[in-house]
């Protein structure tokens, strides 16, 4: 019942009930006993007014007291409580709105805690991953300064190692910069409509050259039945493929790396499958591999490097293309990454 309705009922009852009671009493009692009728009228007015005051008080004051306690809790930073709306009037709606505000504030507070925790983890990761190549560079530079590299061959090996370690640092910084831009939606995507078959064939050709130089075996298969078209940002989607393959090479435990790339036509989507013969991912880790800063290697093996955000970048780019990504894996056998993007479909224009 609305508060306005309650107040109208209270007014009507206070004005009508005592008068009606007095009229009934005047006809029921013997004429000439006006004083007694007046007393009964006053008693009726007092009782009616007291009842209505109590009714309105419980309808307004009690919920307001709850809201006051809730506001005090929020001011003190305590969001672990609940406000239940016990009526359907304006006060009840206010309690419901207050509860929704509390839930939103709690969600924001939890997000901030998670964000701060991730930031601390990121700083820790950066410190660890930068410290390793810096220590190596410092050691080799000291070796050169102390004359340890006393032959042209040693000098060449030291300089190449320093160069490679500097490249590792540069790649790490570039990855973190890219992630920051993607996470804050500051990367302008340049979407274009292209042939899916031609585009993925070009990607496969580039991969073949790169993997051959690293001694890896690469197999590309295209199962598309027709030359479908897709709307993609060619540069960013190529980054997805390269990141997945780089991840496969980085964490392989086989002497001969094998990478496969299959492209399939699955209805309204194009599905790309990138497989490897690496050490695989444990079932408990598989659901989390696309999370920010997640690493399956709890000990953070420094020989692997990386910031733990490569696959989160991949997921973000795929989702920006309106697709989704997932993975299957078997320990000791290998891992397959799947992602789908929607095919471009022309909408026929009807002639009027």
Q: Which residues contact 79 (CB under 8 A, 6 or more apart)?
A: 73, 102, 105, 106, 109
Cα(3)–Cα(274) distance, rounded to whole angstroms? 64
> What's the structural domain count of the chain?
3
Last residue of a domain, one of 78, 112, 133: 78
* Integer Cα distance of 27 and 34 in angstroms: 11
In a domain, 241, yes or no: yes
Residue 138 lies in a domain: yes
Q: Tokens representing 269?
A: 């989507």
Q: What is the pLDDT of residue 298?
A: 46
Question: Where is the domain boundary, 184, 215, 235?
Answer: 184
Tokens encoding 176: 């973190």
Domain containing residue 313: CATH number: 3.30.565.10
Q: Are residues 36 and 160 in the same domain?
A: no
What's the domain range around 50? Answer: 3-78
Q: What is the DSSP string of 35-95?
A: HHHHHHHHHHHHHHHHHHHHHHHHHHHHHHHHHHHHHHHHHTT---------SSSHHHHHH
In a domain, 67, yes or no: yes
pLDDT beneath 70, residues of the chain: 1-42, 44-45, 52, 56-57, 183, 226, 292-308, 346-352
Q: Do 248 and 173 belong together in one domain?
A: no
Q: How far is residue 205's CA from residue 203's CA, in Å, rounded to a whole number? A: 5
Q: In terms of domains, do 41 and 171 share one?
A: no
Q: Output the pLDDT for position 16.
A: 66
Please indicate, yes or no, whether residues 197 and 180 belong to a single structural domain of this protein: no
Please report whether residue 152 resides in a domain.
yes
Gap between the Cα atoms of 139 and 29, Å rounded: 114
Instruction: Count Cβ atoms within 10 A of the Cβ of residue 121 and give its class: 0-12 exposed, 13-18 middle, 19 or more buried.
Output: middle
Using the 8-state DSSP alphabet, how is residue 330 labeled?
E
Helix ranges, 184-309 (H): 196-213, 234-250
Domain match, 46 and 128 both: no
Provide the CA 169 distance to its chain's centre, in angstroms: 28
Assess whether 29 and 141 both reside in one domain.
no
Q: Is 233 found in the same domain as 166?
A: no
Residue 202 resides in a domain: yes
Alpha-carbon distance of 29 to 49, in angstroms, equals 24
pLDDT at 128: 75
Give the model confidence (pLDDT) of 260-319 as tens digits: 999 998 888 999 999 999 888 888 888 888 876 666 654 444 445 555 677 888 998 999
Q: Is the pTM of this model over 0.75?
A: no
With tokens 């940002």, the residue in question is: 233
255 and 210 in one domain? yes
In a domain, 351, yes or no: no
Whole-number pLDDT of residue 116: 82
Residue 268 shares a structural domain with residue 226: yes
Query: Both 37 and 179 in a single domain?
Result: no
| 318 lies in some domain | yes
Cβ contacts of 205 within 8 Å, gap of 6 or more: none
Specify if 59 maps to a domain.
yes
Residue 3: the pLDDT is 53
pLDDT at 299: 42
Q: Which of 141, 159, 184 is the last residue of a domain?
A: 184
How many other β-carbons are positioned within 10 Å of the β-carbon of residue 177?
10
Place of tokens 């471009």: 344
- Count Cβ atoms below 10 Å from residue 252 Cβ, excluding itself: 19
């Amino acid at each position: 019942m609305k508060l306005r309705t309650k107040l109208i009922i209270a007014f009507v009852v206070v004005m009508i009930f005592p008068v009606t009671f007095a009229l009934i009493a005047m006809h029921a009692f013997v004429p000439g006993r006006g004083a007694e009728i007046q007393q009964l009228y006053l008693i009726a007015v007092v009782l009616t007014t007291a009842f209505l005051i109590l009714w309105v008080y419980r309808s307004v004051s009690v919920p307001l007291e709850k809201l006051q306690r809730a506001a005090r809790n929020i001011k003190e930073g305590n969001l672990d409580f609940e406000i239940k709306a016990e009526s359907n009037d304006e006060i009840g709606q206010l309690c419901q709105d207050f509860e929704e505000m509390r839930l939103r504030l709690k969600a924001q507070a939890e997000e901030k805690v998670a964000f701060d925790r991730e930031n601390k983890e990121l700083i820790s990761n950066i410190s660890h991953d930068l410290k390793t190549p810096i220590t190596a560079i410092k050691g080799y530079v000291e070796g050169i300064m102390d004359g340890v590299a006393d032959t042209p061959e040693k000098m060449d090996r030291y300089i190449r190692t320093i160069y490679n370690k500097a490249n590792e640092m540069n790649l790490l910084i570039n990855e973190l910069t890219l992630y920051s831009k993607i996470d804050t939606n500051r990367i302008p995507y340049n979407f274009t409509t292209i042939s899916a078959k031609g585009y993925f064939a070009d990607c496969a050709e580039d991969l073949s050259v790169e993997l051959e130089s690293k001694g890896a075996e690469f197999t590309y298969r295209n199962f598309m039945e027709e030359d479908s078209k897709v709307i993609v940002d060619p540069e960013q989607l190529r980054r997805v493929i390269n990141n997945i393959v780089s991840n496969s090479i980085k964490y392989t435990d086989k002497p001969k790396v094998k990478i496969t790339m299959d492209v399939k036509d699955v209805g309204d989507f194009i599905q790309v499958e990138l497989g490897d013969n690496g050490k695989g991912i444990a079932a408990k880790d598989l659901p989390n591999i696309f999370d920010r800063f997640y690493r399956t290697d709890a000990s953070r093996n420094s020989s692997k490097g990386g910031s733990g955000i490569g696959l989160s970048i991949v997921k973000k780019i795929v989702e920006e293309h309106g697709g989704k990504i997932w993975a299957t894996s078997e320990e000791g056998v290998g891992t397959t990454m799947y992602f789908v993007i929607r095919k471009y479909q022309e909408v026929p224009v009807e002639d009027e």
